[in-house]
Each structure stands twice: as structure tokens, then as C-alpha cells.
Amino acid sequence: ESWSQGIVPHFITCNNFIGNSYAKVLHGFIRDCMSPNSKMKLDTTEPLYIIELGAGAGKFSYFMLKALEEMQAVCDFPFRKIVFVMTDFTEKNFLFWQSHPALKNYFESGQLDAGIFDAVEDNKINLWRSGKTLTAGSCKNPVVIVANYLFDTLYHDIFQIDNGVLKEGLISVGSKQSEEPDPLDPEIIQRLENHYRYVDIDPAYYLQEEGDEKPIRR
């Protein structure tokens, strides 16, 4: 309902203008990388992956990929080696992309691939079409990440420095009503209140586990 009524302004990031604009930014990045004095040379024999996190219905993916296709004649990197990867954490969206006629040719040409990916929990992407698995360090070229309307949905840690003391922000969410008979009622959001409190923490807030920094899970 939020999407259909325009409460979530998804059109801002899912239109032809934005797709073209992102493609131009990528074109500039490629041009800089391919310049003689670049310290980040691209390997034209290897794929250049563009990964969209939280691709949703895939509208933005289509617009950006189409824009890149239209500017391939002036791009310093071979278009056939650019692979756009759509990801989302829901299988419903994943299946929708596979059956959408506007994406069919791109999937068949190899310019487009897709995978289910949870930006909070996962650390690899299994590509549906090519069968490849993308992990940290597996790509020869830098990976381009697109993340429209994503970061506001991820877990965040809140910190505050008060008189030189590092503190962690803890949030409690409650209702203005004494009881909520249906906690899944969409209208409950109108009655919610957030309460913050800050507590002192040790500077070593994040633990080192097997070489990876992971937040302490409570």
C-alpha cells in the first residue's frame, strides 16, 4: 500500500533520467581508469560487474543497463564485458526478473545476471545465469555497487561522544496506546514512539573473529 499510494517515493530512483545519470558517472569512472596515468587499470579481458543491491522490481536496472548499451560506442571498456547483477533478498523479485520480457535479451546476452543476496547476512552472490559465485577478492576488476533505497533498511549502530566518553545509543520502540492487540497492524506505525538512551561502552566495541570484524551480537 505504501508503494502504490506513493508514500515511498520510489520513482525518484527508478526513472530514465536517473538511469542515464548513473551510467554517465560509470562512464566517467571507466574513462579515468583507462587513462594512461591511472593507478587503477581495468582488465578488458575480465568482467566489470555492476551490482545493484535491493533491485526491487528491476526498473532502475533496466534503465541503467539500457543507457550503458546506448553509449557503448564512446565507452573505453568493451560493453560485452560489462555485467549488471540484480540482487534482492526475496525470491519473489528474483523470479519476477527471470520472466520479465524487457530483461530477457539482456539475460540471454550475458549482460545481465541475478542472484538472491541479503546485504545484512550474506557475503557471497551466486549468479543465476552464469553459475559463478562472487566473493570478496574473486573479481579482477573493481566492483561497482548501486544501492538506492537500501541503507535505511540495514541495521545500524548509534554512537555518541559525550565529554570525551564513547557511548552506545540504545533504542526502545513503544506504542502510545497501553495495549496493541495486533502488532502486525500497518497503522501501528502512526502510534509508535522511539526512546533513546546512551550508555558508556568500551572502545573495543567490535570483536575480531577469524580475521573479520563483526559487531557484537546481543
* CATH code of the domain in which 99 resides: 3.40.50
Specify whether 141 is located in the same domain as 191: no
Average pLDDT value for the chain: 88
**Torsion angle of the four alpha carbons 56, 62, 63, 68, in this order, in degrees rounded to the nearest 10:** 130
At residue 113, the pLDDT reads 98
Domain for residue 42, yes or no? yes
- Secondary structure class of 103 (helix, strand, coil): helix
% of the chain exceeding 90 in pLDDT: 68
Per-position DSSP letters for 141-202, written without gaps between them: SPPEEE-TT-GGGS----EEEETTEEEEEEEEEEESSS--S-TT-GGGGGGEEEEEEEEE--
C-alpha cell at 63: 534503465
Helices 59-70, 101-109: crossing angle, 10 deg rounding: 50
Report pTM: 0.78
Beta-strand relationship, 133-135 and 124-126: antiparallel
**Contact residues for 135 (Cβ-Cβ < 8 A; gap 6+):** 123, 124, 125
* φ, ψ at 194 (rounded to 5°): -105, 135
Calpha distance 76→2 (Å, rounded): 41
| Residues 135 and 195 reside in one and the same domain | no
The residue segments making up the domain with residue 90 are: 10-153
Q: How many domains does the chain have?
A: 2
Do 139 and 166 lie in one domain? The reply is: no
Higher pLDDT, 213 or 169: 169
What amino acid is encoded at 136 in this protein?
A: A
Note whether residue 33 is domain-resident: yes
The number of C-alpha atoms within 13 Å of 153 and in the hemisphere containing its C-beta is 12
Q: Are residues 74 and 89 in the same domain?
A: yes
> Is the pLDDT assigned to residue 13 strictly greater than 80?
no
The whole-angstrom separation of Cα 136 and Cα 209 is: 17
> What does the block give as the cell for 206?
567490535
Of the candidate ranges 55-59, 140-144, 152-156, the one whose mean pLDDT is the lowest: 152-156
Q: Judge whether 53 and 117 are in contact, CB under 8 Å.
A: yes
Specify the range with the lowest mean pLDDT, choosing from 28-32, 41-45, 173-177. Answer: 173-177
pLDDT tens-digit map of 38-80: 999 999 999 999 999 999 889 999 999 999 999 999 999 999 9
Q: Looking at the structure, do residues 40 and 142 belong to the same domain, yes or no?
A: yes
pLDDT in tens, 95-134: 999 999 999 999 999 999 999 999 988 999 999 999 999 9
